[in-house]
Structure 1
Amino acid sequence: MTEASTILRVAARGEGVTGDGRHVPFAAPGDQVRADGAIEAGPHHQVPPCRHFPECGGCQLQHLDDTAWSQFIVDRIAGALAGQGLSAEIREPALSPPRTRRRATLHAEPSGRVGFAVEKSHAIVDLAECHVLAPELFALVAPLRRLIHVLRPKRRLDLHLTLADQGVDLLVNGILPEGLAAAEAITAFAEANRLARMAFDEGYGPEVRWEPEGVTVTLSGNPVPLPPASFLQATREGEAALVQAVQAVVEDAPVVADLFAGLGTFAFAMPGRVYAAEAGREAIMSLKVGAARAQRPIFTEHRDLYRRPLTPAELDRFAAIVIDPPRAGAKEQAQALASSRVPRVAYVSCNPSSFARDVKMIVEGGWRIDWIQPVGQFRWSTHVELAASLSRQS
């Protein structure tokens, strides 16, 4: 090959793809790839802002500008739909700004290294900067290194950080510190860094060592108890975009079912009565407590929707359904939805592939995809989220 090739798109794993099908790492649409493999930057190739790129596994796409990253997100969804013989209106993605991630899992080695894992490796990048984490979370990296040296763990630890209403909630997996020296170090660390809570888990459940007041997260204006390391939308901006999309689907429906409800991200945003189903016991109990405190008409049920999905007859009681399953999707529940007579469904997903698989079954049951709102919460990553409007065809 003697002439340069142009990068046309970015593949699912982040490589640039040329017209002849070559995959080129760290290339952006519009880049020119010379015969010797060198890349001439095009209009959508930006200088990665972080010194740890591309070693750190926290980001794969820092070399893309927002236009290219948005197109990558749209292409991921369109490609997943096309694989199932589907198409739909895909709206402009809602992108979360840099340094807005309010939850993350870092790793710590006994040596004191703290950071994300190296891409495709168990090694740890010792973070000196981070352009995705909220400043409140990144501020803990250096103090955590000092604490690790005091605690002297014998193996790698997982550090789950979440920005709650009261400050940072920290759960350390892999150690249960004992002794007076450890207790004093933990208390001093928590006080100095104004933690909302600090807990440890060696495999038998979290043991809280610091929690001056009950930890909560506010969802649509309602404080909800936050269990350690609970699932929460990655950014406030991403949560707001998903909630707005779901509200546009549900509109003023008087009775709504929120399936895989979690802590109630969508349940608390609904205008009418809500039935909320969730398999996680701690999450559904928190939702129940939050609803009672706010005096909201939310009925909760601890229910495994994989083993016991709502039947078509149960679904037909509602004016709208909100469903937000894990990455695996909700095949069994989608089959029941396809046969139901519910007029509107808001399907929220963090996996375009399982979403497309589920929606194909629903469409084959006489439904249509009205539109899809993509959301980019995981800045510069290949992770894609979306909210879709589904309605029964008349």
Structure 2
Amino acid sequence: MMTTHLIGPLDRFRVLDLTRIRSGPTCVKQFADWGADVIKIEPPDDASGYADRDSSDFQNLHRNKRSLTLDLKSADGRDILMRLVDKSDVLVENFRPDVKKRLGLDWDSLHARNPKLVLGSISGFGQTGPYAERPGFDQVAQGMGGLMSVTGLPGQGPVRVGIPVADLTAGMFCATGILMALLDRERTGVGQWVQSSLLQAQVAMLDFQAARWLIDGVVPEQAGNNHPTAVPMGVYPTSDGSMNIAVTGNRMWQDFCTVIDRTDLADDARFATARLRLQHRDELNALLFDITRTRTSADLTDALIATGIPCGPINKIDAVFADPQVAALGLVVEIEHPKRGTQRVLGQPIVLSGATPVMHSATPDAGQHSDAILQELGLSTDEVAALKERKVV
């Protein structure tokens, strides 16, 4: 019988988590936070390769799970895993294709065992194709997927984004796919194999930059803090720092000129349309920089917001979490950890009118719930002890 800790929209599902590093845990976190019974399968004897389970990164990724240690190289370990597969709705893994085949965790084997199971697979480059067996890494995907070519100042050379965007989006895409497969299973009674990869996710996230090439035949270049296709939009200096300003459309451009007390610019033939402003970007920005430098960030922000022009500060991370709007959105939640005490972790950026994610438990120690999970499978205390003696658990 499934043990749950939270009544939530996903509390009827059991998810087996065989993922590691970041993309897979990002996927599984969506299920753990919304009530699913997530069982994290880990090697015994702390052989998982994690240097510090109490680190802030690990704690943020693996909350709300139960941990079962299993030696999947042993027949007994694989047998226990298959018994869990029989009673589960989802299994998520990010092994290379050859590894999961060797462990019997390939789609054909799992689907034959439990036709209702949804398998979520995240890889570096996809399950097929010439790169399928390659190991994946976020920065490699950022480079191969084009992101580093459009990030940074013009002529600077390739620049990585400051977050593991390929890992994170691959995890989110996979979670979305799993949810769709679970919905479809309600109609068909059959699970599906959901696949995503770092490269697929990164290419998909190119969005309008990809469209510029696919539709317009333009190869985007680095634009720095300027928006690639809109002016004025980007970082503007102020007397006490800098801020982001986003002016879109001719009407907003006219309002902006009024705010900065330069209505003459609205009538200037060089800047009369969005296309002309883009053509004269450097000339226009040079004029605007001299103007915005005479205003404080707060003063200019207030004036622009009053006119309906999007703008905002450029915060360091500490300032982000000091922002009253961030606090109002509930993006930080507290959770009790047996060693670290009360710690703050990132909450969910999704709001549902009928449910709230609850941080019911901190990231578990390896094997913290092994006894309970094995007993749920019907194993006796003696059988569990024997498995531990053989280092299967």
> TM tier, shorter chain?
under 0.3
| Higher relative contact order, structure no. (Cα contacts within 8 Å, ≥ 6 residues apart) | 2
Query: Based on CA coordinates, which of the two structures has the bigger radius of gyration?
Result: 2
TM normalised by structure 2 equals 0.26
Q: Which has the higher strand share?
A: 1
